[in-house]
Structure 1
Amino acid sequence: MQPHTIVTREEWLQARKALLTKEKEETRLRDEVRAQREALPWVKVDKDYVFETPAGRKSLADLFDGRSQLVIYHFMLGPGWDAGCPGCSFLADHLDGTLPHLNNHDVTLMVVSRAPLPEIKTYQKRMGWEFPWVSSFGSDFNFDYHVSFTKEDLAKGSVDYNYRQTPSKEAHDELPGLSSFYKDEAGRVYHTYSSYARGAEEIISTFMILDRAPKGRNEGEIMDWVKRHDEYEAQPKANNSCCA
């Protein structure tokens, strides 16, 4: 934690107003980026993808579940893994509460991993999550959307990830991402957006709260403190008697 100057309330207010100017600029830029994101051209999805779901095998079009918009989080859980990626698990902790709001707004949120469905179910049960989670095992889906890589891919020295050639030493056989799709009234599916690496960071509301805490994220490297939520040491319970 960096040292801080102790000032009067008037001096603090002056500094806070200066920061507010920057925060408003950030908000306007975020609005501009959002508008450009919504204006991106679309690509028709012609390839047939099959997913294993708790209700049986389904196509990409089936995953929309009666809605016109589908957002997929590419969760790092490969075949045979003992547990999912801690970072993906951290993000996933923020999803369940969004479901009724997204569904009511014509958006289906789906999590996809390459691990077989029984392995997904085991880890999902451990974490206590309720969001829909399906397997792309045996499908090209993860590879086509640049979140899974074969040993041969990695052996080439770099992989196509986050719209650049990422050195293999910085990559993994599974990597995170988020992709969005639209289905028209005729049932045609279009790929509208994909984001990788830190691109889905704003989904993680814990980060947004930490960014306003006195010590911020308090990390040496990105997410170096993050663990799966059942792996933190037990913390003393807060005394909430004042709110009873």
Structure 2
Amino acid sequence: MPDAALPPIVDHETWRKELAELRVREKAATRELDAIAARRRRLPMVRMPGYTLVGAEGPVRLVDVFDGRSQLVVYHHMWDPGAEWQCGGCTSFTSAFTRLEFLANYDARFVIVTPGPIEAVLAYADRVGNRMAWYSTADSTFGADVDAPAGGGFAVNVFLCDGETVYRMWHTSGRGVEQLTHTFALADVLPYGRQEAWQDSPDGWPQGPTYGRWLDSPDVARLYGPATGEGDGRT
């Protein structure tokens, strides 16, 4: 790495002063995120009609996808019919979720939904080593009705179940999903950040095209797929 890509070197007292000034802004951002979460908890909800998806065991009602829990997070994975590799961003993003059992303590579950046919969907999940529960909406309007139509982009929806009735509580897409994974949070605390051209970085910092350092689907399969020898453990 060239010398120009190094931060200034200062004494420890100066470093602590600079860090303390940054901490003020970090704490303000934390409090703002708390306020946003509080507002999210006060959102109204929309009653959903009955939907039937298809899982590994066959057709399943949306209310049963909750698996006895009251809250459900759904990631809508983009799907290109007949493609060898599906969306690299979706594949990379969902590969981060390898430990989801803790959600049971919050009376919640997190699953993936995609418009591909279930046989192809499960084969792809195995190929890239994804251990989440996957469901197909190939024969349902569910995805389109919650702003994630076939041929459209990715999205996250959150639902609440009350008895046999499902309600839609929250939706996001684009950069709104970043808060759900550690990937970008970890990259952002690195001295060089995400190293993408759109970021505000000092002169000389390494930067490249947006998405340039993201894992693509073949990378995910190579790192986390069956060849790694890891067990299934799908939840």
Band of TM-score, shorter chain: 0.7 to 0.9
Task: Give the TM-score normalised by structure 1.
Answer: 0.79
* Residue 180 (structure 2) pairs with residue 178 (structure 1): no
**Residue in structure 2 matching 1:95, options 94, 97, 102:** 97
Residues 150-198 of structure 1: CA deviation (Å, up to 9, x unaligned): xxxxxxxxxxxxxxxxxxxxxxx2311100111113x111100111111
Structure 2 gaps of 5+ residues are 198-208, 224-235
**Residue in structure 2 matching 1:84, options 83, 86, 93:** 86
Contact 1:76 1:175 (C-alpha < 8 Å) held by counterparts: yes
Task: Give the TM-score normalised by structure 2.
Answer: 0.82
Taking the aligned partners of 2:13 and 2:86, their CA distance within structure 1 comes to 49
CA shift, 1:228, in A, is 2.9
Counterpart for residue 242 of structure 1: none
Residues 88-133 of structure 1: CA deviation (Å, up to 9, x unaligned): 1121112121x11012321011100001011111211111121100
CA shift, 1:55, in A, is 1.2
CA shift, 1:3, in A, is 5.4
SS at match of 1:231: helix
Structure 1 gaps of 5+ residues are 150-172, 236-244
Q: Which has the higher contact order (CA 8 A, sep 6+)?
A: 2
Aligned length: 208
CA shift, 1:81, in A, is 2.6
Q: Percent sequence identity over matched residues?
A: 30
Contact 1:91 1:203 (C-alpha < 8 Å) held by counterparts: no
Counterpart for residue 170 of structure 1: none
SS at match of 1:83: coil
* Residue 147 (structure 2) pairs with residue 146 (structure 1): yes
Counterpart for residue 152 of structure 1: none
Residues 22-41 of structure 1: CA deviation (Å, up to 9, x unaligned): 00000000000000011100
* Residue 3 (structure 2) pairs with residue 26 (structure 1): no
Contact 2:76 2:155 (C-alpha < 8 Å) held by counterparts: yes
Taking the aligned partners of 1:67 and 1:204, their CA distance within structure 2 comes to 22
Matches within 5 A, 1:45-60: 45-46=48-49, 48-60=50-62
Please tell me the residue identity of whatever aligns with 2:122.
K
Taking the aligned partners of 1:123 and 1:108, their CA distance within structure 2 comes to 21
SS at match of 2:82: coil
**RMSD of Structure 2 on Structure 1 (CA):** 2.0
* Residue 40 (structure 2) pairs with residue 37 (structure 1): yes
Please tell me the residue identity of whatever aligns with 2:170.
Y
Contact 1:77 1:83 (C-alpha < 8 Å) held by counterparts: no
